[in-house]
Structures are given as structure tokens and as C-alpha cells.
Structure 1
């Protein structure tokens, strides 16, 4: 790395969760089967706008067996939340009755979720990937495919065994052009594809982006939860947690990794119920996936999720803004403006509670609050809910490309700010 303080920055593009930040009231999720493949035939996705005074409706919706609020998006102008509500066939009439009772307008976004999943994954030959198949950005690859991708297989750094003896790996791209392998994501399968595309661009097209490669060392974690990712591919397309075993409740598997970080852990927006999709774990950093990320000290930290098209800033635990919020906001403005130029995709910018809701134990808060990383961002990629977690394969490349453009702009903006800070500190 270069000697100057500004150029000595480490940029981490860590795909920590790769899933939407599910609703904070989610307590009654039915444990899913460990065997077989879960079918979502007949499941519908409804969208409704809920004014703040009527927000307790979420309680009654979530108490319905199998109902899952995929996304909350807060509109501060209308003072209401836009909710995407996944509804199983046997709860459809109950959910519609709740909408009617609360006089909530709604629309059907996805008529049959299983059909959307089949379209997303393609035929079985594409879903169950062939050994040695090269990486593409036209379908969703297995962890083994990713490990065999040449840009990944050059160097491997292990950070501990997971439940199925898979590893979370970081990849390092700098002047040495090396890369490390990492594994996983959950519901948003387009997220690891985007991270792999960024790795692809930095390694195989480094002459085009030599400035940001020279200015930073890049540590990329495209898949932080290999067990969860493979489980969502083979068994349950909507699985969102890790796959660790709870000895006291073996039927309730896994922890929500994005609520497992040791900063403001379990202070809100998470659950102590092991059967909940937002279970924060028995302790902070109980999961090897989160411990692997904890051990990196950086200047910039970026976690990628899906969906809702948001560029989010700390804090998640509080409505208060950190002291350097304006600096982070300016960087986010540069990034989202560049991103929008690619395909016209618009992103909202703000803190997590401003755009969504209070959520504690997240990696973004930990990066800034506990480690002191000055630039910490959390992204929610495409789309705005037309497909939600079930993003068609045709959108892999546009999503990856526009995100890379935004991250390039982010890196340049951070570098310029660090230069200014360094010159100020040295009196230059």
C-alpha cells in the first residue's frame, strides 16, 4: 500500500447479509422443514401503504401463519410505510380482510411466487450447476462455481469452519491483484452476483480502473454465509439466516447475521426467539460469519443487501445522526448520482431508521461505532418490489454494472475527502 495516510485507506466491500432487513415485529415465523424443497405455489405478494397511526396492523398481519412482510419503505412526505406482504393461499382471505378493515389500498405485485422463482432460477440444469462451469452474470451460481472462478481461486484466507465445513473468505485486490474466496447470501441472490461482478471488474479489467485500484486495497466478501446460501438454493428459496444449530431448540436453526454484531446488540428491532427470522443469536458474534468480518480494520465499509434501492447510513439503532453524517451523505450523493446515469435507477439516501426502521446489531453500526471506520454504508439493491427477492436473471448484469459504477464513484469521493483531511492534518 502507498505510504500517505490518504492512500493507506482500506476499502471493504463486504456482502454481509445479502437479504432484506425483515420487519422488526417478526416473531411468529413457522419453523421450516430441514428436508425436501419448500414450494411457494399459490403464494402472492401484496403491496399496501400503511399510515403511521395504523401501523399496528403489522402485528395482525404477522400473526397469520406463513405471512411474511418482505419490505418496509418509509415515505417521510406521506408519513406512511409501503409494505410488501407475502401471503400463503390459506391466509389470503384473512390478509385481504385486514386490508379492508383498516381501509388500506393494496395491489397484487406477484400472482404466484413459485412461478417467479422458477423464472428466476431457470431450468434444473441451470439451477444445479455443472462442475467447472465458468462464472457468468446470466444465472445464479453455486458456491463451488464461484470458488473455481480464476479471479477467486488465486489466494484463499480461511476464517473458521461453518456448519457444513464451508468457509467465509475475503478476497484482496490491490497492486498484487490477488483474490480470496468467500461464500453466501440469503434471499437476495442477485447480491452475491453483484459482488462477484465487482471482483471481476477489478481483477480482469484493472487497466480501466487503475486509479481506484492504486488508491485503495479492496477486500471483498461476496458470500459471507455459505451454508445459508446453499440452503436457499436447494431447499427454501426464502431462507434468510445462518445454519448454526441451537442445542436447546434444534428445530429452530440459524441466526440473523445482520443482527449479530456486537454494537448496540439486542437493543431493538431484533428477537431473542430462536425461531424468529430476526433472531439475534445467544450472544453477539455467536456466528463464525460475523466473527470473520469483525476481524478487519478498514477506512470504508460497505454491506450489500436486497431490495429497495437505498444507500443507507448509520445509525441503525437510533434516529440520531453520527458526527460525520454529512461527509458520508456527500459521498452517497456522488455514488448514487453516478449509479443513476447507467440505467436511470434511482436510490434514496438516509439513515436506516429514516428509510426503514430501528434495527440493532448490524454490521454498519458496528463498523462505525465500535471499530471507528469513518465511512460505513449499507446498500439495498434492485428493485422497488416488482420482483423483490426473486430478481430475474436478466437483471443480474444491469444491477451489477450500475452498482459497480456507484461504488467507483464512492471510492473516488472517499479518496478525495481523505486527501483533504490528510493535507489539513499535515498543514499542506
Structure 2
């Protein structure tokens, strides 16, 4: 069981590496997202001088990088398998603050880990991502939504209201609940006139606050389904669509105004100084089965109980209302360019994995055909790691939605979470092409799924090493920092 004592002795953490290999399920488990870090006069956390390094490691070397993740300010942004031909090889991105850079490079060199500097200065990348707005400039649209910048939650909600007003025969905006900070959780229902009930597709974005391209892409899909509904009506018009662009509005606004890399919601945790729960570790199916943390200071804190968060509860309740109609669930995340299938919370595959894979391949092929962007297709545990408590597993195993996907959008790590605003439009277009192809593939297979009857294998192994941190074990260190 680890502690954070002697935090300044970075290299001393490597002494724990061999024991860590068997007691860690996820690279973010040890990351302490301190809210007391350097901030400017406006209270915004600065990432000046932070670098993103990329290294390739074997499975036996994972504890080395794992130990880095326990040092203050160092965070594993991403890790993934390098391909089926390279067994047990991983590509890992490590965010490094200036005062730890020398030690991180020393570890790479000492353990002969090849590495490259992917981002030289994260704050510069953040500034470029957001860009400078031209005062007095008005987009040539009757509303505020554009694809040349990342918009606020207010902008998104205003646009959703605008669609409802101008397309009343097509759009209904539904408030399904309130966030921890009492923001509305809005879903846009797109449904044309029909003499009979239609199958439905659900798409949500923004569960993780820092993944800005996710809500932007969900908004783009909404735009295409409404303002361009005449395109491919033979496919898109066969479904009702439920689009929830921003599942974590509190966290998203916090990233805009305080800390660009914040991940969780903004819930106050009982008996802890640390804020927030990872909403994509908080759903009830196999909650805390691995790849999540019991520590409120962790970026992957699963919450005090399953579905404890108001955002999770609102999504759960509304999806369960729609479960007999929903045939597809899509949750949009970033980054790594992956089209992911269940399961995430345990090793094993769904009974209808082949159907889901075939439809996913139609989607990834459509993306590649459109602009050459490559997406990797497979299950979460095959391509990434155990990540229990996710919405995709809940949608499939609890709600019985037969086609459940989690998308990791652009890019492959050159910018990571800080994707430049110039890539909003191309990302939106290619994702919409993939969604259209997905819808066509599902439509073809619908006769097999007249009633949602997904079968869940209950003998999937439980990860007994999932819970390696005692709750609140880092609070004292946070207070002393």
C-alpha cells in the first residue's frame, strides 16, 4: 500500500517499481491532481514549461513509468498497446512539470527507454488551442455556434435552444437533471414524423472535462442531423437521435476558467479536501472492478458509491427510460483515434461482439475513406486497460443496448487533449461520416434485435488488485504541500 511521503525524492520511487507491477490496474491511479498548483492573477492554473514525453516500454518496464506517475505533477496522459504484432509493447505519454523534467529524463536514460519530446511547452499549446478572438467579429450564421473555436457551455445550450425554436417539428430539448453545481443536463431529441416508433441512437460527449473536442464533435453531429437533415435521410431519418453534448458541464467550465487539464466533475467529497469524481468510473455495472481508484484525490476516483453523482444518475435514469427504443449507445472521448467496444470493466467479450465489430469496422472504414484518418477498432481491455464503471458497459449490460461504443477522437498524441481549434471541423466531419456508416450497419442488422436482449456473461474475472489506495490517504500530503 503506497504513500506519498518523501515526495521530493523522485528517484526513490523506483524502488517500489517491482512491487507495483502486480498491484496497479491503471496508469492514472496514482496521479494527484492538485488544485493548489501554480495559478496566475486570474486564478487560472499555468502549465508553462510542462512537457509531454512519449516512450515505448515492454510490460516488464511498466512499473518504471508507473512510479513516475506517483511524483507530484507528473501524469500519464495515455497508454496503449502498440499493435497485435508487438506483444506486450506499450506506447505511453507522460506529462512532466519543469521541476521534474531532469529526473524524468534521468529515469528514461537509466532504464534505456527510448523517448521523444512531443509537446515542448504545454501552456503554449493551450494558448494556440484557444487562439485570439477578434473583437467585434460576428460569424455569418444566425446563431453563435461555429466550428472555428471551442465554445462555452452557455453557447452550446443557446444553440440547442435555437434549434428547438427554428426546427420545432424536428427538435425537442429535454432537461434530464442538474449537475452538482446546478447546471442543466440537456439532451436534444431529433425525431421526424413517423407512423410507427423508430429505433434510437444515443450520443453523449464531455463526460471528461478536459476532452474539449468531445462536446465540440457532439455539437457538430447535432448540427448535421438538424440543419442538414436532408442529407442521407434514408439512413439518418430511420432513427430517433438523442444527443447529449455535455455530460459534465461543471468540469468543462472549470477547465475553461481555472484548470485546462481538469478531468472529473466538481462534487465535494465527504471527509476529503480533494474535489470531483470521474463520471466514467461511476456507473454501476462492475463498479470498482479495476482501473479506478478509491482515493478522492485520484483523477480516476470512482466515487463514494456506484452512481453517486447527479450527472451519472441523470444519464442512467433517462437511458433506462429509453432502453426499449435505444439500439445504439455512443460515448465520445479523446484521444487516441480508437473505436472501442465492451467490455471495459473486465476481460471478456460480449455475446454479440462480432456484430458490434462488423458495424464498428464500417464506421472506421468510412472515416479512413473520407480523409485517411486511421482509427483502431477493438475492445477496451484489448487495446487499452481495465476501466470499470464506464458508461459503455452500463449501456450494454444493464440497459441492454445491443450496440455500445466508446470513441477516442483525434489525435494520436501530437497535441493530445490540447487539440488545436483548426482540427474541430475536420474531426467533426470525419466522425459524422463514421456515425452515418455505423447507423447504416445497425439498420441492416436490426431484424436480429427486435427486442433488446443483450446477453451478459457473468463469469468474467474480477480484478482483485483493483483497489490499491486507501481512501483519503493523500489528503494529508495535499494539505502539507
TM-score, structure 2 normalization: 0.78
Output one character per residue of 1:189-217: Cα deviation in whole Å (capped at 9) or x when no partner: 11111100000000001111212333111
Give the equivalent residue in structure 2 for 1:169.
Answer: 186
RMSD: 2.5
Determine the C-alpha separation between the residues in 2 that align with 1:340 and 1:238: 29
- CA offset at residue 318 of structure 1? 2.1
Question: In the alignment, is residue 240 of structure 1 matched against residue 240 of structure 2?
Answer: no
User: Which of 137, 141, 144 lines up with 1:134 in the alignment?
Assistant: 144
Output one character per residue of 1:359-406: Cα deviation in whole Å (capped at 9) or x when no partner: 100011111111211100000000000110000111000000000000
Output one character per residue of 1:86-138: Cα deviation in whole Å (capped at 9) or x when no partner: 00000001111111122100000000000000000012668xx99x9610000
Aligned 8 A contact 1:174 1:213 in 2: no
Determine the C-alpha separation between the residues in 2 that align with 1:166 and 1:28: 28
- With CA pairs under 8 Å and 6+ residues apart, which has the higher RCO, 1 or 2? 1
User: Which of 127, 131, 154 lines up with 1:122 in the alignment?
Assistant: 131
- CA offset at residue 159 of structure 1? 2.3
Determine the C-alpha separation between the residues in 1 that align with 2:436 and 2:203: 22
Determine the C-alpha separation between the residues in 2 that align with 1:176 and 1:248: 51
Given the superposition, is the C-alpha separation of residues 44 and 176 from structure 1 closer, same or farther in structure 2, using an over 3 Å criterion? farther
- Worse overlay, 39-48 or 162-171: 162-171
Aligned 8 A contact 1:156 1:181 in 2: no
Would you say how many aligned residue pairs link Structure 1 and Structure 2?
Answer: 397
Output one character per residue of 1:200-239: Cα deviation in whole Å (capped at 9) or x when no partner: 0000011112123331110011100110000001100000
Name the SS for the 1:271 alignment partner.
coil
Structure 2 counterparts to residues 61-80 of structure 1, below 5 A: 61-75=68-82, 76-78=84-86, 79-80=88-89
Looking at CA atoms only, which structure, 1 or 2, has the larger radius of gyration?
2
- CA offset at residue 41 of structure 1? 0.1
- CA offset at residue 160 of structure 1? 2.3
Structure 2 counterparts to residues 1-400 of structure 1, below 5 A: 23-33=26-36, 36-75=43-82, 76-78=84-86, 79-123=88-132, 134-149=144-159, 150-151=162-163, 155-175=172-192, 184=206, 185-249=208-272, 251-295=273-317, 296=319, 297=323, 298-400=326-428
Given the superposition, is the C-alpha separation of residues 204 and 309 from structure 1 closer, same or farther in structure 2, using an over 3 Å criterion? same
Given the superposition, is the C-alpha separation of residues 70 and 152 from structure 1 closer, same or farther in structure 2, using an over 3 Å criterion? farther
Gaps of 5+ in 1: 1-21, 424-428
- CA offset at residue 181 of structure 1? 13
Aligned 8 A contact 2:205 2:218 in 1: no
Output one character per residue of 1:242-295: Cα deviation in whole Å (capped at 9) or x when no partner: 01111311x211100000000000011000000100000001111111112112
Name the SS for the 2:339 alignment partner.
strand
Aligned 8 A contact 1:168 1:182 in 2: no
Determine the C-alpha separation between the residues in 2 that align with 1:359 and 1:421: 27
Gaps of 5+ in 2: 1-24, 166-170, 195-201, 452-481
- CA offset at residue 30 of structure 1? 4.0
- CA offset at residue 421 of structure 1? 5.3
- Worse overlay, 310-319 or 25-34: 25-34
- CA offset at residue 169 of structure 1? 1.3
Give the equivalent residue in structure 2 for 1:13.
Answer: none
User: Which of 397, 400, 407 lines up with 2:435 in the alignment?
Assistant: 407
Output one character per residue of 1:346-371: Cα deviation in whole Å (capped at 9) or x when no partner: 01011111111111000111111112
- CA offset at residue 299 of structure 1? 1.3
- CA offset at residue 147 of structure 1? 1.5
Determine the C-alpha separation between the residues in 2 that align with 1:193 and 1:30: 25
Aligned 8 A contact 2:28 2:76 in 1: no
Determine the C-alpha separation between the residues in 1 that align with 2:101 and 2:278: 27
Determine the C-alpha separation between the residues in 1 that align with 2:392 and 2:174: 23
Aligned 8 A contact 1:171 1:181 in 2: no
Determine the C-alpha separation between the residues in 1 that align with 2:164 and 2:281: 28
- CA offset at residue 167 of structure 1? 1.4
